Amino acid sequence: MEFKSEHFRHILLYLRKGKKAAETHKNVCEVYDVGCLTERRCQNWFEKFPSGNLSLKDDKRSGRPTEVSDEQIKTIIESDRHITVREIKSMYHTKPLKVI
């Protein structure tokens, strides 16, 4: 079973009762399923919630901005299904180009 974000109330309950993130993770996974929630995500929520941040969305991360949007790549591939990654790279002169 996949952990649903709606179940974060259980994590809040454990946090407010003074429990540790590791114990909370163990108990939640016993109820919902092993692997439904990573211990790291539980730890992140334990760090965020006390400050009043109850958002379940991941925080924005810094990093290199993309040079070519996914939509641009999709359009190119749809127009030429035989195009190679190298050809796309040469069109935009990007270094390096990773396709995931």
pLDDT 10s digits, 5-41: 667 788 888 888 999 999 998 988 888 876 778 888 8
Name the residue ranges covered by the structural domains of the chain: 5-49, 68-94
Rounded to an integer, what distance in angstroms lies between the CA atom of residue 94 and that of residue 90?
A: 7
pTM of the model: 0.50
pLDDT 10s digits, 65-94: 667 788 888 999 999 999 988 888 888 776
pLDDT 10s digits, 34-61: 677 888 888 888 888 777 766 666 667 6
Residue range 5-49 forms a domain whose CATH class is mainly alpha
Rounded to an integer, what distance in angstroms lies between the CA atom of residue 97 and that of residue 90?
A: 10
Measured in degrees and rounded to the nearest 5, phi and psi for residue 81 equal -70, -10
Q: Could you write out the DSSP letters of every residue in 51-93?
A: GT----SPPP---PPPSS-HHHHHHHHHH-TT--HHHHHHHHT
